[in-house]
Chain A
Amino acid sequence: MKAGLQARMDRLFNRHGDGRAVCVAADHGYMSDVTPNVVKLRAITEAVIRGGVDGILLSPGQAMRLAPLFQGRDGPALIVRADWMNMPRLGTSNVANAVPQRILLNEKMITAEQAIALGASAITIYLFVGYDDEVEALGVDKCARFVNECRRAGLPCIIEPIAYGRQVTGANIVELLTLGAREAAEIGADALKIPYTGDVDSFRHLIEVADIPVLVLGGARSDNERDALELYAEAQEAGAAGCLMGRNVTKSPDPQRLIEQLCGIAHKGWTVDEALRGEVWEYVKLKAHPAKCTGCNLCVVACVASHDGGSYGTHLARLRIDPGKGVGQFKVMFCTLCKKCIDVCPTQALRWHPQSGAVELLVERCDNCGKCVEICPTQVIVHSDEGVRIIGSGTPAAPQKELPWYPVVCDLCGGAPECARICPTGAIFIEERKAFSPLAE
């Protein structure tokens, strides 16, 4: 059965000859809510296959129903979930389907032979660490028997350690996961499915300790499309052999694109930025959905922190949140690149920055007349705290003078504005500034 095991491992991990696999976990349907990502499973499965996914994790029933999609030499590898547990039904994320949970339960619902008959290339089973000794002992026993069963059948067994229960705290979760990873390897797992530990160093350590291929899981979906890619890129940097990402993919508005992006990182060596944008924006502008603004002011502090020596604060921010009229009617006020300040400047001290396309102050030309501050429709040009001494040769082009203050203008952080990066609700975001040339205007 060794040959069968190797063939199935290759089907999963070596479709691209790089030992990496981008996989989707779509086995949520029998444990959590009947959310759209569960109901539209066929469409999602087809989409991620179009995106070039290497493997898909399904419950046995869905594996039977969707089996035709896995056929053919280039079809993705099928991974089957062997067990059920009651933990996700507790109602943290799925109140409607909640049942009171008294103790953690975990049942096996398929054998290795049955999984192979379904065409599976691998099978996944949970291993709980940190709940209590009895549950952990039962879990180890179940996993050990199952690994043996898989080995006899020639089916790769992926163990998924979960740190869950009363012994788990924020202080020990990384240690528990690392321990669970090693435990799974000792039991005889062929690969691991495991959560990211949050940083590259501790995850690298976990992977070294496990010493078998590790697939990182994605966890709950983030609205920030960068998060899933960043998490995977970091896991891969730490040595992960791929990912088994669930809700981030299945709940994504565009699962195919996300898989293409993940595959780009896994198989083509793309960076997160390359994967994310797919195209280069030469110039950007800030845009806003004021209705989404909760008034948290993270943008304002992030703006200050990225300028002026890196301290945190709100003073001298290049944007602000106007409280507006009525409750919660915030207005996001930022540089709209309207050009009024450039036009009004009598000394041509303001211009488009040749690289970023933002407004730029040539301070040696500035007479601090204040016209730009006055005219700014969003009132985001502010007085500097301190003055500046210009030491020129004394000619009109290079004067010698002392300014008590100068206007502080938004520089779009050189093209990657911090305010848009940190905004938790997408109330401020960037768009491509098309058909713009700083010199022509």
Chain B
Amino acid sequence: MDLKQRAYCDRILRVNLSTGAITTTSLPAEVMPLVLGGKGLGAWLLYTEQAPGTDPLSPDNMLIFHNGPLTGTTAPTAGRFGVTTRSPATGTYFDAYCGGYWGQMLKYAGYDALVVTGAADSPVMLVIDNDRVELRPADQLWGSTVTAATERLRDEFGHDWQSLVIGPPGEQQRNVASIFNETRALARGGVGAVMGSKRLKAIVVRGNRPVRVFDKQKYERALQLAFRAVRMSSKTTLLTREGTANILEIIDVMGALPTRNFQQGQFELADEVCGAAFREHNWKKDYACFACPIGCGKWTIPLDDGKVIEGPEYETIFALGPNCAIGSRETIIRLSWWCDEYGMDTISVGGVLGFVMELFQRGLISAAELDGIAPVWGDGAAAEALVAKMAKVEGCGVWLAQGVAAIAERYPEGKPFAMHVKGLEMPAYHPSAAKGTALAYAVSERGACHLRGAPLSELFGGAADPLTIAGKPQLFRDTQADTAAWDSACLCLFPGYGMTLKELWQLVVAATGFDYPAPADLQLLGERVSTLVRLFNVREGFARANDTLPARNLSQPMAGGPAAGHVVELEPMLDEYYRIMGWDHNGVPTPERLRQLGLAALLEPEVG
């Protein structure tokens, strides 16, 4: 099987920063039809090549960048790429995805994946120009912000190159650090800290290799259907108009908009920070990632001091707005600017702010411990001062930038309302008001995450009553498998608000020629990949006890709104979910299910 005729490059670039060795290997041909690429490929490499117990910030931790078979073509959002590593924040398998313009460049340079291991003695950058790959000193760039580094690289290399950089929090291995391609981020879980631990400041890439699909005619036909499905969808139309923020109002109406560190599910100033308000007052132009027909990104009108951001999107608005009781759009933009400029994850930073504000509200933390800053709910100036501390990694920012779980270790009385799972701060859907989503937060392979199968359709798709647990494990299982398939094909999830798995399947089959007789085979692939990452976490000691939620969700009834009085009935959902997945009572995949998924034979040496 010639994978080069099946939309792959059939090359993995491997860079060892300790030795300086740069090599390439081919793809595992017999594995590819089972994992497809993207998430599946990253999970495969991490599971089979990384030694159990590897410290996330040690040189041995693999930092794997990957694209997918559709990357670089005209498939909707075909510029997407991802990163897979072991997270310093969660200790779990961790994957993050990003739009922007870097992913297709790696593919055009001729690589399906880039595996970085080792650690350099002094700051370096990796320069990939098709087959010419080299490491260069980056002392000059070390310490610079994301924008400054990006602009310097653009000046030095030119517009036909794309860069990935980290900011100071990444360099100093903070858990809130992300990796940025211009305004877009591989975010959450401290993936930027892993890059920083390797003293890798930047990766620039340029390429001009073509991508060849298996059946061009069939692929073009599938593209036509996919694009039409995206265009003929009111949900994608709304994404174009108001970005992801279009859902803020409905989430608020459903009582699921986390407010004041999840003490409430509705925000009294929701109208001020919804998509329509940003559209009317703050946004001036749409931004699209590579090959994206939707364009959910928005450029803001400059603030008084000239600060401009691309955003904010829904999660950022929630985290830096309602979660801190901040109802000023300008303040949200300003806080978001700090995160983007210095390379931090807005959800985690907002989670930290909300947590610290509640600690302060309850008198569990003093201004003195926060370098004199008194974080009162809704105080934009205090929030900005704290974010600046984290951005510059100075004073209290040094430990704040380690995330909610780490702060809760310093202030154990805050643990019941430390809103994280497995060390990852919670995203913008209140689990107590969305039970299927709660299950996803508890179980997800990377901690509290809304993008690893959370059935958000229970909130804005009307798929089911969000307040019941009936049927939710099955709904989560299906969405999780779909999402894993989508991430393995490495497309953004948003075309999926118009396309279904069927349109994705048509694209994948035409591009790769792999034998997937029906869309359900892609769903099976998704379940296989989800199970593979579960195996990684099991190997690192994760089990049922870790699939949990903060006490706030499990035992403190919601204060008001449509979900008033609700807590998450987690245990029965876990039981049913494990049963559906073929995992044992402790959440460990059974050998029988591994055989059914075709994993047992592949993992023979490991599983036995």
Contacts and interface: CB of A to CB of B under 8 A. Distances in A.
Nearest to A104: B462
Given A166-B458, A166-B475, A298-B292, 5 more contacts: A102-B465, A166-B463, A170-B499, A198-B500, A222-B231
B464 A323 contact: no
A91 B253 contact: yes
Interface residues of B, number: 85
B250 A220 contact: no
Given A99-B253, A313-B210, A301 B225 contact: no
A248 B297 CA distance: 25
A91 B291 contact: no
20 contacts: A92-B238, A132-B464, A166-B458, A171-B501, A171-B523, A174-B502, A198-B225, A220-B232, A221-B232, A295-B288, A297-B101, A298-B291, A310-B216, A311-B212, A313-B72, A313-B108, A313-B208, A327-B299, A424-B293, A425-B286
Interface string B206-232: 001111110010001000010111011
Contacts of B209: 313, 315
Interface string B236-269: 0110000000110110011100000000000000
A430 B271 CA distance: 41
A11 B281 CA distance: 51
Interface string B480-503: 001000000000000010011111
B502 A198 contact: yes
Interface of B: 72-74, 78-79, 101, 104, 108, 159, 208-213, 216, 220, 225, 227-229, 231-235, 237-238, 246-247, 249-250, 253-255, 274, 276, 284-295, 297, 299, 308, 310, 455, 457-458, 460-467, 471, 474-475, 478-479, 482, 496, 499-506, 518-520, 522-523, 562
A305 interface: yes
Given A90-B460, A164-B462, A312-B72, A295 B287 contact: yes
A224 B233 CA distance: 12
A170 B291 contact: no
Interface of A: 87, 90-93, 95-96, 98-104, 132, 164-166, 168-174, 198-199, 218-224, 227, 230-231, 247-248, 291, 294-298, 301-302, 304-305, 308-315, 323, 327-328, 422, 424-425
Q: Which 6 A-B pairs have the closest CB atoms?
A: A170-B501, A170-B500, A311-B210, A424-B293, A294-B288, A315-B208
Contacts, number: 201
Nearest to A101: B462
A168 B255 CA distance: 25
A23 B522 CA distance: 37
A296 B228 contact: no
Contact of A98 (B208, B228, B249, B310): B249
Contacts of A219: 232-233
B440 to A, nearest CB: 14
A418 B234 CA distance: 25
Contacts of B464: 132, 165-166
Q: Main SS of chain B's interface residues?
A: mixed
B275 to A, nearest CB: 8
A164 B500 CA distance: 13
A92 B460 contact: yes
A93 B235 contact: yes
Contact of B290 (A102, A297, A328): A297
Given A100-B255, A296-B292, A424-B295, A327 B308 contact: yes
A304 B231 contact: no
A166 B482 CA distance: 14
Nearest to B302: A327
A231 B228 contact: yes
Given A222-B232, A227-B228, A328-B299, A297 B291 contact: yes
A98 B250 contact: yes
A166 B159 CA distance: 46
A107 to B, nearest CB: 16
Nearest to B105: A314
B295 A198 contact: no
- Most chain B CB inside 10 Å of its own CB: which residue of A172, A295, A309, A312: A312
Contact of A227 (B74, B232, B255): B232
B68 to A, nearest CB: 13
B554 to A, nearest CB: 22
- Most chain A CB inside 10 Å of its own CB: which residue of B72, B216, B462: B462
A428 to B, nearest CB: 13
Contacts of B220: 305
Contacts of B249: 91, 95-96, 98
B237 A220 contact: yes
Contact of B208 (A221, A314, A422): A314
